[in-house]
Each structure stands twice: as C-alpha cells, then as structure tokens.
Amino acid sequence: MYSRDEEMDIENWVIRPLRHDDYESICELSKSIWEGNDYLPEVFHQWVDSPGLFLCIEDISTHQVIATGKYSYLEDGSGILEGLRVHENFRGQHLSWQICKELFKKAIEDRKKGRVSQIVNCTHVTNEASLHISTSVGFTIKKKFLILELQQEYNHDKVLNIESWQPSFEEFMQQPYFSSTQGLLAQNFVVQGMNLALFQAMQKTATFAKVNGCPGFYDNHHGWYNVALDPTPASIYDWLLYANKQPGVMDCLAFVLPQPAQIEGLKKLPVIPCTNYEPDLLYLTMTE
C-alpha cells in the first residue's frame, strides 16, 4: 500500500490521459460503482474530448483501467474535480490520491494563472472516502442541497396542467429558486453559479414548462434532474411527477434548499428524500 505522498509503483501501474479506446475498460470499472448506475460510460467520449484533464491509472500487466479522475471547467468559471473512481478490487491502496495529486496540481496552477476563479467539488454526505479526500486538501462545505425523488409505490394519479414556457435569461434569473440558493444551480452532482453562459447551454438540452402554474425545467446532466423554480412543497412534487412521466426520462431527481416549514410540507407528500430529510448533496469549495 502507498502512503498519500509516496510515488506510485511505475513497474506495475502507469498514470496517463484517457483515450477513446479505453471505453470497454471504463464500462468494466463502472459495473461495480453505484450498483451499475454510474454515469461515467455515458459521458466518457465527451470527457475525453473536453478541455481539462481526464486521467486514469492503467494496470500494465492487464492493460485494464483501474482508476479515473476528471478536472473540468464549468460555465461559472470554476474548475471542478469529478469522476473519481477506483475499481473495487484495487481500493484502499491510495490510488485515488495518485490521481487527485495530478488533478489538484493542474487546478491549482489554473487558479494561480486566473484560468479558473475557484476550485470546487461535489459529493454525497455518506461518501466518507470522497469527503475525507476533499477535506484533507482544504475543501470546505459551502452549501448542502436536499435530494428528493418520487415515491415509487404511490399511485400518482394527480392531473397536471402543463403550459409551454420559453423564458428570457432575465425572467429565468428572477425566479424564487435562485434567491433560496444564492444563485447556485445543482445539476445533479455538479453545482455552479447560474449565469448567461450556463443558461444558453441549458437552452440546448433542457425542457422548460409551467406545471400547475409553476415555472421550471428538467434536464439530463450526469442523470436526470428537475427544478421547480417557485419551490413550494406542492410545486416540487408536481415537477417531480411531471418530469418522471416524460418519455425517456428515468429516476429524475430534485435538488432543493427548503426551509424547515417546507420540509414539514414535503413530508406530507409522496416524495422521498435520499437521506432522512438531511441535506445530502454537498457543494465544496477549496479555501486558500
């Protein structure tokens, strides 16, 4: 086993950028991550082609990719560390540190040069390994979102009134959701400040509408998510219901920042939290 600071055994393993022809190996690695629900195979080719740094550790004897990590640029000017994975047979050997060291080096250089405004990271509150790595290198928790999903066993027979909605950027930004999040948007496990560049990117992929009068949208970003932009408990439920009924949409989640009184309202509705109504998506930023 390596310590955090020790150099990797270059006889057996090599650290290198990922290539398109690593796809099969990535699928193999991802099989054991989150009960096979890992989004990495879905974004893999796009990540290989995107700027930043997408690294892996290859086991030289088998040519198998056994660990990955990605450093990406977000529309709000942040650099994000994401996609950290270690094959289940190779965990506990500090391989994730070897990847992180390289990604941090690049991120910190970028920060010094002004290429990124800050370095960020997102994780789930129960992911002890990920949280330990992040806090060890100086990340602190900036915001905690509550993740909600539709209760599957319930008979959701509510009739919804749907209107089309094509907001301008100004109208979009004025929605109450952004005052509750201080301008942040959680796109699944990527959190960033809402701005024009992000809005324009979302216009290519998201579906905007009004559900029972509440404006919002659903989108796919490393999995499906939806946002009720006037996030009362009733509209959060209506949006979860609407988005999850759309063709091709599966397991669409909501990421919200409710007040205590709103949580009492949510508890009366057929929605369920991932972690006991404790905010569970953690948005971390690196403090300098």
Residue 191 binding ligand COA, by CB under 6 A: no
Handedness of CA 199, 203, 205, 206 (dihedral sign): positive
Residue 36 binding ligand COA, by CB under 6 A: no
Smallest gap from residue 137 Cβ to ligand COA (A): 10
From 9-17, 121-129, 264-272, 277-285, span contacting ligand COA (CB under 6 A): 121-129
Residue 20 binding ligand COA, by CB under 6 A: no
Residue 57 binding ligand COA, by CB under 6 A: no
* Inter-residue contact 134 to 47 (CB < 8 Å): no
Of the residues 13, 54, 97, 242, which one makes contact with ligand COA according to CB under 6 A: 97
Coil, helix or strand for 242? helix
Smallest gap from residue 197 Cβ to ligand COA (A): 24
Of the residues 64, 78, 96, 192, which one makes contact with ligand COA according to CB under 6 A: 96
Distance between CA atoms of residues 89 and 87, nearest Å: 5
Of the residues 94, 142, 143, 156, which one makes contact with ligand COA according to CB under 6 A: 94
Distance between CA atoms of residues 138 and 122, nearest Å: 14
Residue 84 binding ligand COA, by CB under 6 A: yes
Residue 30 binding ligand COA, by CB under 6 A: no
Q: Which residues contact 3 (CB under 8 A, 6 or more apart)?
A: 94
Q: Which residues contact 254 (CB under 8 A, 6 or more apart)?
A: 147, 148, 149, 225, 226, 227, 228, 236, 239, 240, 271
Q: How many residues does the structure list for the chain?
A: 288
Of the residues 36, 92, 114, 260, which one makes contact with ligand COA according to CB under 6 A: 92
Point out which residues pair with 164 in neighbouring strands.
209
The residue ranges that bind ligand COA (CB under 6 A) are: 4, 33, 84-86, 91-97, 123, 127-130, 132-133, 136
